[in-house]
Amino acid sequence: MQEQILILDFGSQFTQLIARRLRELNVYCEIHPYTKVPKITPDIKGVILSGSPHSVREENPPQPNLSEIKGKLPLLGVCFGAQYLAHFFGGEVGKSNSREYGRAHLEIKDKNSKLFNDVADDSVVWMSHADTILKIPSNYKVTASTHDVKIAAYDIEGEETSCIQFHPEVYHTKEGAKILKNFVYGICKCKGDWTPASFIETTISDLKTQLGDEKVILGLSGGVDSSVAAMILHKAIGKNLHCIFVDNGLLRKNEFETVLESYKHMGLNVKGVNAKDKFYAELNGVSDPEKKRKAIGKVFIDVFDEESKLVTNAQWLAQGTIYPDVIESVSVKGPSATIKSHHNVGGLPDYMKLKIVEPLRSLFKDEVRRVGKELGLDENILNRHPFPGPGLAIRILGEITPEKIRVIQEVDYIFIEGLKSHNLYKEVWQAGAIFLPIQSVGVMGDERTYESVVALRAVSSTDGMTADWCHLPYEFLAKISNEIINKVKGVNRVVYDISSKPPATIEWE
């Protein structure tokens, strides 16, 4: 039985962070919307109520059904969760009139509170709320305050319920991890059995049962998710896994050959399909990035469909779906507007009639990497930067031609290899080169040139939702720029993108 913590989501932007912090403590957890509290089973060792953009004082505040939870299981209320358990159980929440955003210093009032075991007095915590708890019921006990907030934390006597108005999950709360650890280990008595090794063992055994002798098809992209999904399926069903790796002609220089070789080296049953010409034909004359995406998606499905038919009797399609996609689809707020619909290229037509298997659907990205590492995934694939599905098509502004692809592949190659040889690759979250639809004047030798401009982009980020441009050393940029102009025919100017996201995006499209 896999022990777990249930996180009820009230829509806070930080809910996923709570889950990630618990997973880092080797404790499995699931996020469910507060409107759909799952059945409480013995594997659930405790429950966390998340923060929320809502207020308990609004007309129809979120009201979860806690009848099987409060007083029966360890419970941690965070921010809105804390206000909810005060306001609706005999206390009072009002509008805050002091500063309750950002850093504050914790004064622990009850040294016996298990939640603050070993947490230093004066520790920095991060607040973010417009409401505040004004009064708590008589069986509640204040366990911590801050300068501005008297009831920063409380316990409910006679229950294993602890509440905090600050956010333990954010990086700025210095001892946040310790507080969460106290909850899951000290109060919920979790054993910490969620490790890459245990995930692999359980998943392999489950996949064996689920798939039996049936054949599975999987589209590899060269990215971490599909590669890890392939490896774990391979361990479970061996040759019954049929991988297809399509060369759309929009990958990085030498990428197709190198990655295919790594896959073969890993023992995967993989077929490389060169479909470049089909993609180029469909992209011919297309400038609009959304139309490029549609064209690429369409050809991909055609090629994939054709290749899958060659695998006789395939019954399953494996996908590298990961947990953030799953949460997104059941989110309290509904699908997030910030996620582009096209990010998961390759929704397959219904007529393929394949059953879907998603071995990584409970994992966060960093966990996929940990699992990949444990499975012995090639370092080259494990640590690579994210790369968009439509590839260089959205890094060439305007129409795509084989010549522009050649140029941008060469430029990108020099940049990426340079980052690697200067030990900068791992510091950067994502990097690449963009072919701009303009030409500019230059001089080379005694001649005037009129050639293309390329932009280099390197960003730091954790999930691609926000990003900052990397402050790469000037000497490095100078060297790379020189090398590009000297070696890549057709380029006479290099610029470096110094925009953050938002308001810019990572890709130029």
User: Would you tell me which residues interact with ligand XMP (CB under 6 A)?
Assistant: 293, 342-343, 345, 386, 388-390, 430, 464, 501, 505-507
Name the residue nearer to ligand XMP (CB basis): 20 or 395: 395
Report residue 457 CA to chain centroid gap: 21
Which phi and psi (to 5°) does residue 379 adopt?
-50, -35
Give me the least distance between CB of 459 and ligand XMP, in Å please: 9
Q: Is 131 exposed, middle or buried (0-12, 13-18, 19+ CB in 10 A)?
A: buried
Q: How far is the CB of 16 from ligand XMP (least distance, A)?
A: 17
Give 181 or 293: the residue with its C-beta nearer to ligand XMP: 293
The residue (of 173 and 430) whose beta carbon lies closer to ligand XMP is: 430
Question: 115 or 286, CB closer to ligand XMP?
Answer: 286
CA distance 299 to 297: 6
79 is catalytic: yes
Q: How far is the CB of 368 from ligand XMP (least distance, A)?
A: 15
Give the residue from 419, 430, 427, 417 showing the smallest Cα distance to 385. Answer: 430
Residue 306, amino acid: E
Whole-number minimum distance, CB 343 to ligand XMP, in Å?
A: 5
Q: How far is the CB of 394 from ligand XMP (least distance, A)?
A: 6
Residue 26, amino acid: N
Closest CB 329 distance from ligand XMP, rounded Å? 17
Distance CA(218)–CA(488), nearest Å, equals 36
Active-site pick, 54, 129, 167, 234: 167
Give the ranges where 266-394 is alpha helix by DSSP (H): 276-283, 289-309, 323-330, 365-374, 379-382
Q: Is 169 a catalytic residue?
A: yes
Residue closer to ligand XMP by CB (options 126, 415) is 415
Q: Which of 29, 79, 243, 470 is catalytic?
A: 79
Q: Are strands 131-135 and 101-105 parallel, antiparallel or unpaired?
A: unpaired
Distance (Å, whole) CA 176 – CA 160: 19
CB of 448 to ligand XMP, least distance (A): 35
The residue with tokens 């930067």 is 385
What residue ranges in 160-259 does DSSP mark as E strands? Answer: 161-164, 215-220, 241-247
Strand ranges, E, within 97-209:
101-105, 107-108, 124-128, 131-135, 140-145, 153-156, 161-164
**Residue 46, C-beta contacts closer than 8 angstroms, at least 6 positions apart:** 5, 6, 73, 74, 75, 76, 160, 183, 184, 187, 188, 190
| Residue nearer to ligand XMP on the CB measure, 87 or 457 | 457
Minimum gap (Å) between residue 287 Cβ and ligand XMP: 16
What are the distances in angstroms from CA 137 to CA 70, 80, 89, 213?
A: 15, 17, 7, 60
346/490 with CB nearer ligand XMP? 346
Decide if 167 is catalytic.
yes
Q: Which is nearer to ligand XMP, 114 or 342 (CB)?
A: 342
**Token pair of 492, please?**
């006479």
Q: Which of 169, 255, 307, 451 is catalytic?
A: 169
- CA–CA separation, 84 and 91 (whole Å): 9
* CA atoms of 65 and 14, how far apart (whole Å): 22
The residues that are catalytic are: 79, 167, 169
